[in-house]
Structure 1
């Protein structure tokens, strides 16, 4: 569950934040820290770890850029996420702004900088280069902002290259051992939970002190929601009833699963990494979580077979386009920045993203040979084609993540559903009332 920075982003970057201060420009990219407005220097910032999947992809994109622009010097700086998050506004309003920068999606980040006039409007470029055709409308919502800096507007301020979403992870060995059939809808999902519980196994991995518990509550609400409901909640296009059938179904089902032992109430204090350890240690046969866990699971799981599939109980899921490239208004070489972004959208880089376990937004169909990655890509594509990506529950309100964590912990500790929904409604309705009217 995320506000602006995705939980996937925080997990991926925590080691880097701990290990790095401001990293100097890499020697391999060379050159001075000063970029002239001469079309001969590209200054690029991103915050991906060097050996991570996205870091490998962006390194490959830099190498490709150098091949196609042999007379251009690339000055690359690897920042930490926190450095960019905390200092972006100040830096982008100075002559130290890079030409292109990876930045986080969301109203409080990209939307805020766009509203402040610090980011280049890429709408015309996206149309000219065909990026708007290669990225679905659903996946591009977090790249487009209105005059108030709220996502879903008409103007493109970021270009995402990959997608993220929540899906099911299954321990295939435990399903086979206990003769449990893989679920295909909500009814068969609950039947699988009941069969595992009858065998003495708590079926669902969970973590109450982190995003997973809130993800579950929102996912259950989405199973009863339509497009208008999502737009009302995420984009403030209409009134949200927190005591309505969608939210009510979510808290009632959550409580039922707690009472039946499908969730363990003791998981209320766990973090997301504890949840994945439950799955890796074969203590829980089912985990519903983000595709961002797939890479570490591939490394950590060595003693059983596992698979992924779309969560069968809902036609909508949590997800969006990933973090994106932005071009600061004060960038000195915007054409070079656009050329670099174009390379990240190329078939070569998109295929590399897929092979490394990331969901590329514009890969050629069938080009990915990594079977598990292709399964995730197929699931993601189904969601984005059907407007099934419903973003994250804490996005609409600044600071809402803590509210969500507290509310879901209250639910796991026995609070009544109506009280939990009122807890969620308070900050949301206050923020909605404070928004400027068009």
Structure 2
């Protein structure tokens, strides 16, 4: 929604104040302020197309609640955002709703800046994978709504699978068999934008998270307490990644292909699968709207059945000194209601963060994996590696070395350990 900034002259402010005094500042039935003041302010870092997903739900909220309006302030999502929001709250000029970075939540909670939302009806319905953020950041209390989930998995060309007689893999051996089958048929098994680096990071992090989610090792690796060279999980991931290279799972020129080209090649039927997050869907559909597309959870690890890796969408919190805190909670209840949540998720192209939430697939590819998200999902950022800034800075280059034959699992992991040590 386009921000609506009310510009009142000093004279208007004076007249309004006088009118309120005369009227006795009447309250609303739900305990809010008078009708003239029933404005929910919302500071976020998602402008333009990224913010369009809120347009319909805000309009629906205002229609269903006459007298209430929602005004958004869109700030740049750069390094200054958190400082600006913190300053607003500290200066007692807090918005009623605020998008928060998950890394900022612990400090903001310790400083008493955010309202505990654990008793809200939607909080009791959070998926286990979503509750894990609360457990790891605040000891279990919920201080923000995770509006929806991105899913990181394997996009696949259903037509190519049918033509090759390949079933959706349910374990790593069957995934490797699928790779060999497509290669023998002259089809590149896995599209990958190796030139850009980050798509390789997505695959490596997904594989590692499958092994490390729910263990203590991610924090130990991130802090440097456990050396990467001693990580059984990461050694296994890199060994298997080299195995995929040896099986010719990728285009021979994989390090010369960027992300947009890999998405276009996949959409054109030049490759059978693409490991990517749901955030990569627009690039695929832009290249081929009619593609018979599916998505399955990467069957890696020993969980017994494939689990869906999820990434958190936006975190929306209510500052403790918000003027319209009850109105803010009212809006979050409205957004997560069974009547409104499905249409919001469709506009956001995300999956539900709440158990049992109705879901209208934003794309046919989302239908299959949505069931796995609800039944068995885990946090994608559980890899214990790319969460460390020092490792992030060198990860792409190190992973690329496995593809051109200049690196080994040990050399990659030693480089990670050196980077962490130097950053201290």
TM-score, with structure 1 as normaliser:
0.76
Comparing 205-214 with 175-184, greater Cα deviation is found at 175-184
- 1:119 and 2:113 correspond: yes
| 2:241 counterpart of 1:254 | yes
Cα distance, 1:60 vs. partner? 2.5
Q: Among 202, 205, 220, which residue is 2:207 paired with?
A: 220
- Partner deviation per Cα, 1:15-69 (whole Å, 9 max, x = no partner): xxxxxxxxxx836x563499999562211133445555x623x223322332344
After TM superposition, give the deviation of residue 155 of structure 1 in Å.
3.3
Mapped to 1, the partners of 2:8 and 2:191 lie a distance apart of 47
Deviation at 1:333, TM superposition (A): 2.2
State the shift of 1:297 in Å: 3.1
Determine if the alignment matches structure 1 residue 306 to structure 2 residue 282.
no
In structure 1, the partner of 2:28 is: none
Determine the C-alpha separation between the residues in 2 that align with 1:303 and 1:367.
22
For structure 1, the 5+ residue unaligned runs are: 1-24
Partners in 2 of 1:164 and 1:242 — Cα distance? 30
Cα displacement string for residues 111-154 of structure 1 (whole angstroms, at most 9, x for unaligned residues): 45445x273132xx322x22321112321333x37xxxx62633
Q: CA 1:287–1:51 in 2, change beyond 3 Å: closer, same or farther?
A: same
Question: Aligned equivalents of 2:328 and 2:87: distance in 1?
Answer: 20
Mapped partners of 2:138, 2:376: distance in 1:
17
Structure 1 stretches (4+) deviating beyond 6 angstroms? 33-37, 234-238
- The match for 2:99 among 102, 125, 145 is 102
1:66 aligns with 2:77: no
Matched residues in 1 for 2:156 and 2:355: separation? 26
Aligned residue in 2 for 1:11: none
Whole-Å separation in 2 of the counterparts to 1:391 and 1:90: 31
The match for 1:6 is none
1:188-337 aligned within 5 A: 188-208=174-194, 209-225=196-212, 227-229=214-216, 232-233=219-220, 239=226, 241-264=228-251, 266-268=253-255, 270-314=257-301, 315-316=306-307, 318-337=309-328
User: Measured at CA, do residues 391 and 323 of structure 1 come closer, stay the same or move farther in structure 2, by a change above 3 Å?
Assistant: farther
Residue in 1 aligned with 2:130? 139
> What SS does the corresponding residue of 1:247 show, helix, strand or coil?
helix
Alignment of 1:175 with 2:152, yes or no, is: no
Q: Aligned to 2:40, what secondary structure does the other structure show?
A: strand
- How many residues of Structure 1 are paired with residues of Structure 2 in the alignment? 392
Alpha-carbon spacing, 1:289–1:298, altered in 2? closer, same or farther (3 Å): same
8 Å CA contact 1:99, 1:334 repeated in 2? yes
Name the structure 2 match of 1:26: 2
1:420 alignment partner in structure 2: 412
Give the SS at the match of 2:215: helix
Deviation at residue 168 of structure 1 after TM alignment: 1.1
CA distance in 2, matches of 1:119, 1:270: 46
Q: Secondary structure at the match of 1:228?
A: coil
**Inter-partner Cα distance in structure 2 for 1:85 and 1:78:** 13
Tell whether 2:353 aligns with 1:352: no
Once the two structures are superposed, what CA deviation does each residue of 1:213-268 show, in whole Å capped at 9, x if it has no partner? 12222333344446325554588798465433211111111112223321236333
Of 65, 77, 84, 1:81 maps to 77
Q: Which has the larger radius of gyration?
A: 2
Partner of 1:361: 353
**CA distance in structure 2 between the aligned counterparts of 1:286 and 1:168, rounded to whole angstroms:** 6
**TM-score of the two chains, using structure 2 as the length reference:** 0.79
Once superposed, what is the RMSD of the aligned Cα atoms? 3.5
Unaligned runs of 5+ in 2: 18-31
Q: Distance in 2 between matches of 1:237 and 1:347?
A: 44
Q: Who is 1:407 aligned against?
A: 398
Deviation at 1:316, TM superposition (A): 4.7
Partners of 1:372 and 1:273 in 2: CA distance = 19
